[in-house]
Structure 1
Amino acid sequence: MTVSRTLRDIAGLGYTPSRIANSALILIDCQNTYREGIMQLDGVEPALVECQGLLKRYRDAGRPVIHIQHDAGAGSPYDVNDRIGAIADVVAPKAGEPVVVKNYPSSFEKTNLDDLLKGLGVEDLTIAGFMTHVCVNSTARAAFNHGYRATVVGNATATRSLPNPCGGVVSAKELHEASLVALNDMFAVVVPSAEKIAD
């Protein structure tokens, strides 16, 4: 098998991850819907523990934290006015931490996230949350397109197994890893765990 060079290599973008001291933490869709019911993800609880650890480190350092919450309307698995759509208690926002409510996979699409980040003077982002192949992926790509330097923490994200349109099933592990590899080709630095994010 021939392994190609990444586009990051070719473009000279490098693989230096964000540091807490000069970045903002973006926690994407850490909602109860991913912990139970039809949207429950493989590995969601360990990923939330990793998100919790990142959140504590950013708070302790006095660095910006922005929570993203997906809203798909009343009665949906993403009903923000119901417990199922609420942000999980282990990473619940504190007073003063902005919550950006979105209606699209990208956290930048028709939201004030870009304005918030520009107001903070932040260009480096640490991204964690759910799901790896949808909103994490879409947000990291949009961050790149908006001129930000994004780092995605691999084990602070998770996804679910899906039917393969070519036949069979793509496991959550396979989909998760492929999504991270795709991001790491160009759009973001991907680190396996939060311990790779220096203070």
Structure 2
Amino acid sequence: MTSSRAMPVEALLVVDVQSAAVSGDRAVPGTDRLVDRTADLIARARRGGALVVHVQNDGAPGAGDEPHTPGWELHHQVEAGPAEVVIRKTRDDGFHETPLGGLLNDSGVRALAICGVMSEICVQTTARTALALGYRVVMPHDGHATHDIPAAPGISDAVPAAAVSRVAEWALGSELEVVAHAADVAFAAPSRRR
């Protein structure tokens, strides 16, 4: 479902906005826009009393996001506390073998927004699990990004990153609430805190 303005959500998941994804030669296209939008979402979620969860990928040895390397570091400053946490993951899904589900449940979250990278991988996979678990999920179109898909001879031409991101949203089905702009996401405090 696409809408112009979303009803308030009680949590923001910031997926894999790490140095390797937003700086240097591995940065996603439109990094400046993405960083601006995710920073705005984080600031407004904090002001609204929403739970902010930074999901940090622990990449394999040699990967750009290998733990404790410069590329692994979160791009946005974390205000650690009961309303803002970091959850580390080793798979595409932010819920897989992490405390994310329990944290959302314990905090009384029923609706959440998801932003970050990569649209068709970790963002989409985490959103799909959230939907399957019964959460209301809002995705700001300008709040997630990915890379172009290179041409595959005999299969397809290159697919621009903007098209990949849109298909990632579309593939999540009609339960996903897509809003055009990160500024259209509203935040509220969860009904209860841990």
What is the TM-score normalised by the length of structure 2? 0.87
State how 1:18-167 maps to structure 2 within 5 Å: 18-20=7-9, 23-88=10-75, 91-96=76-81, 97-165=84-152, 166-167=155-156
- Cα gap change, 1:15/1:43 in structure 2, threshold over 3 Å: closer, same or farther? closer
Does residue 186 (structure 1) correspond to residue 174 (structure 2)? The answer is: yes
Structure 1 stretches of 4+ with a deviation exceeding 4 A read: none
Contiguous gaps of at least 5 residues in structure 1: 1-7
C-alpha separation between the residues in 2 aligned to 1:168 and 1:36?
26
Q: 1:41-72: per-residue Cα shift (whole Å, max 9, x none)?
A: 11122011011011111111222111100001
* 1:129–1:136 contact (8 Å) kept in structure 2: yes
CA shift at 1:196, angstroms? Answer: 1.6
Q: In 1, distance between residues paired with 2:175 and 2:92?
A: 16
The CA deviation at 1:186 is 2.9
Alpha carbons 2:5, 2:185 under 8 Å: kept: no
Secondary structure of the equivalent of 1:162? coil
Segment drifting more, 30-39 vs 66-75 = 30-39
Match in the other structure for 1:174: 163
In structure 1, the residue matched to 2:191 is none
Cα distance change on mapping 1:53 and 1:75 into 2, 3 Å: same
Residue identity in the other structure for 1:72: G
1:198 to 177, 180, 186: 186
8 Å CA contact 2:5, 2:179 repeated in 1 = no
RMSD of aligned alpha carbons = 2.0
Amino acid at match of 1:124: A
How far, CA to CA, are the matches of 2:146 and 2:60 in structure 1?
22
Tell me the number of residue pairs that the alignment of Structure 1 and Structure 2 aligns: 183
Q: Percent identity over the alignment?
A: 28
Question: Residue 18 of structure 1: CA displacement?
Answer: 4.1
- What amino acid does structure 2 have at the position aligned with 1:95? A
Q: 1:195 deviation in Å?
A: 2.1
* TM-score, normalised with respect to structure 1: 0.84
